[in-house]
Amino acid sequence: MPSLGTSSLIIVGGIALVAVVSLALAVVLRKQVLAAGEGTTKMQEIATAVQEGASAYLNRMFRTLVLFAVLVFALLFLLPGDTGVRVGRSIFFLLGAGFSAAIGYLGMWLAVRANVRVAAAAMHSNGRTEGARIAFRTGGVVGMSVVGLGLLGAASVVLIYRGDAPAVLEGFGFGAALLAMFMRVGGGIFTKAADVGADLVGKVEQGIPEDDPRNAATIADNVGDNVGDCAGMAADLFESYAVTLVAALILGKVAFGEQGLVFPLIVPAIGALTAALGVYITRVRGTESGLRAIYRGFYTSAVIGAVLSAVAAYVYLPSSFAGLTPIEGSDFASETGDPRLLATLAVVIGILLAGIILWLTGYFTGTTSKPTLHVARTSLTGPATVVLSGIGVGFESAVYTAGIIAAAICAVFLIAGGSVWLSLFLIALAGCGLLTTVGVIVAMDTFGPVSDNAQGIAEMSGDIDAAGAQTLTDLDAVGNTTKAITKGIAIATAVLAATALFGSYSDAVRQALENVGDLADEGGLAVAMLSYEVISPITLVGVILGAATVFLFSGLAIDAVTRAAGAIVFEVRRQFREMPGIMTGETRPEYGKVVDICTRDSLRELATPGLLAAFAPIAVGFGLGVGPLAGFLAGTIGAGVLMAVFLANSGGAWDNAKKIVEDGKYGGKNSDAHAAVVIGDTVGDPFKDTAGPAINPLIKVMNLVALLIAPAVVQVSIGPDANHTLRLGIATFAALVAFGAVILSRFRAAKVDAEARLEHEAHLV
């Protein structure tokens, strides 16, 4: 096991202490949130129903995923490598998965208790200030927990495994990413099935308000906000945190030696301090916009994070590459320049990228920005033009966002002087710089569903006056924008992490080839399987397959929401039809039946996208080789960033366009324009809250799978241990699993369609 110096170990120990302090601060913030008043008895009853539904769903989902986690835990032992590393990788896979699940559960648990407190705060004269404080500090609890657990996990691996830490961290990042993807997909299907079903029947067909208690899907809708946005996004940002650290440490070992294993931990540790500052200074002043207060907290913490990171670089790193401490596998002797300056610039680029993405996403989705105002204005000509204008906004914003991310990567490449290995490490450091803002980012995201739920609870209870209702409407509009912003930043983090993991994959292939030895006797096919040149037809096939997988994954997620939402529509219609007392308020809707349908359908749909993400890279790698697998990853990253931004920003623009009309523009509620924007919002729901966000962990899961299998692909493809029968057998099996899951999904869709047709025909009779 390569050793680390005493000073480095002391620093890593200090970072672990910072992680513990972050978790302690999360406990303090949690206590402050729970100390707020819970409102009226009716509000508390509604909140309790939401709490029970959210807890029941997550508990059932975790029980479903335990077997999957155990299976992956066992499979990791089969990969090549040192026994100690393989054991550690498997153990920390479970730890990463457990941390991701814990973050998701914590986000949900507190959010379903904070929502009623925000609703209660809106009943008072200072409701706007107090409600925003409760919602943001709820997110602060989750943000500090993300920072604390992420740092604690990474620092523990470095302390235990020293120079072998990067290989073990692959398991930690994989566990975090895999659980986050499942929580994103499952929670996204749940929340958007309920939301779409509630809107289509309640608002469009029955003409009743969004959170009217007569709508049987309202409780499920509020439950979904928490299991999708709170639990799913918290887990998503945690895995981004973990995976970025994994990539930074793998590449840091090659580019910076011992210091490369420590400095990537120092930067997010600084982020823990700035996150705490950002949470505490974010408060609404007087009549100012809640969004302005959140922006102020974000930018203040970002600037301080950049300054402190620069100080840390100049204190910890040497003035030349000759002063770096080599460990086994390090290769940086030929590099020139000042490591302190390079590291500082990379971190600053990452922080600037977060700030620019924040502004750009806010511009394309905010209620006062031209693109969203344009989408709202198209409601005057019907739902078709609303849908078309939202799609246009999504496509345009995707280009600008992808261009900015690409510019950041190019800037890092330029400051690295064209050195590929150094630039890849600096890209990972830019990701670490972006992570300095992650605590505030999580707080911003959680603000959205908490304020949305608060509005729902207030409307369902009927215990709030017009001024309080307007306060909650304003907070909800701010929350819509912050949710869109955090999705944009999460996408940027995913691309930086995936780009760095791309370099880690190349390093894994290089080491595997060194272990194989002389390739002089290998034939042309073997050379083609190793080729990274895009001009190679087989590598280009990998690029196409990677991009196609993103499209297939997105289609499966949206189709799953469509099927589940259809079941909700039929159930809510049935209750209105068979229980006429619902509309007069004499009969209580059967809320539990809708929650059960959402839970059943979302858990049933989990397997297909998960198996596709895990087995598609295996099929490509063992079937075509490590070169085409590299092309596959490139196609995934390229298509993934564009698709994710398009889906997230289209959905965000449609959602806030609906808010604009509901605030009185173009006829207001119950007008033709309102019906048009409701249709646009229902189209955008699975875009922005199911398929779009799930692409982030998808990209990283497939990159990590490729990184883990690369040595095995090389081993069975070339050299003395080549076994083409085994290689093709593994590829065939993986392809059958991946596409078998898709085919089974199609059969389920046909069955659901047949059941819906029979139910419709029975109703006509």
| Coil vs helix vs strand at 580 | coil
Distance between CA 354 and CA 271 in Å, rounded? 13
pLDDT at 526: 54
pLDDT at 388: 93
pLDDT at 3: 65
Report pLDDT digits (tens) over 259-274: 888 888 899 889 888 8
How high is the mean pLDDT of the chain?
82
Report pLDDT digits (tens) over 158-202: 888 877 777 888 888 888 888 888 888 888 888 778 877 777 787
Our measurement of the distance from residue 243's CA atom to the centroid of its chain's CA atoms, rounded to an integer in Å, reads 12
Question: Is residue 547 pLDDT above 90, yes or no?
Answer: yes
Which DSSP category does 666 fall into?
Answer: G
pLDDT at 520: 45
Between 346 and 465, where is the model more confident? Answer: 346
Q: Packing angle between helix 231-255 and helix 466-516, nearest 10 degrees?
A: 30
Helices vs strands, H then E, count in the chain:
24, 0
pLDDT at 485: 75
Residues 6+ apart with CB under 8 A from 75: none
Distance between CA 625 and CA 6 in Å, rounded? 42
Report pLDDT digits (tens) over 135-154: 888 888 888 888 889 889 88
Tokens encoding 752: 């659901």
Mean pLDDT for the stretch of residues 18-25: 91
pLDDT at 349: 92
Distance between CA 444 and CA 544 in Å, rounded? 36
Give, rounded to a whole angstrom, the gap between the first and last alpha carbons of the chain: 75
pLDDT at 670: 78
How many other C-beta atoms are found inside a 10 Å radius of the C-beta of residue 522? Answer: 16
Which burial class, exposed, middle or buried, applies to 550 when counting CB atoms under 10 A from its CB (0-12, 13-18, 19+)?
Answer: buried
Residues 6+ apart with CB under 8 A from 733: none
Q: Where are the domains of the chain?
A: 6-764
Report pLDDT digits (tens) over 499-513: 877 777 777 777 777
Report pLDDT digits (tens) over 377-414: 999 998 899 999 999 999 999 999 889 988 988 898 88
Give 297's Cβ-side CA count (13 Å radius).
29
Our measurement of the distance from residue 193's CA atom to the centroid of its chain's CA atoms, rounded to an integer in Å, reads 19
CB-based contact 178:701 (threshold 8 Å): yes
CB-based contact 475:133 (threshold 8 Å): no
3-state helix vs strand vs coil in the chain, percent to 5: 85, 0, 15
CB-based contact 254:331 (threshold 8 Å): yes
CB-based contact 231:56 (threshold 8 Å): no
Report pLDDT digits (tens) over 556-567: 888 888 888 888
Q: What is the DSSP string of 292-353?
A: HHHHHHHHHHHHHHHHHHHHHHHHHS-SSGGGS---TT---TT--S-HHHHHHHHHHHHHHH
| Coil vs helix vs strand at 168 | helix
Tokens 């995201």 appear where? 445
Report pLDDT digits (tens) over 79-134: 766 777 788 888 888 998 889 888 888 888 888 888 888 888 888 777 778 888 88
Which burial class, exposed, middle or buried, applies to 325 when counting CB atoms under 10 A from its CB (0-12, 13-18, 19+)?
Answer: middle
Which DSSP category does 147 fall into?
Answer: H
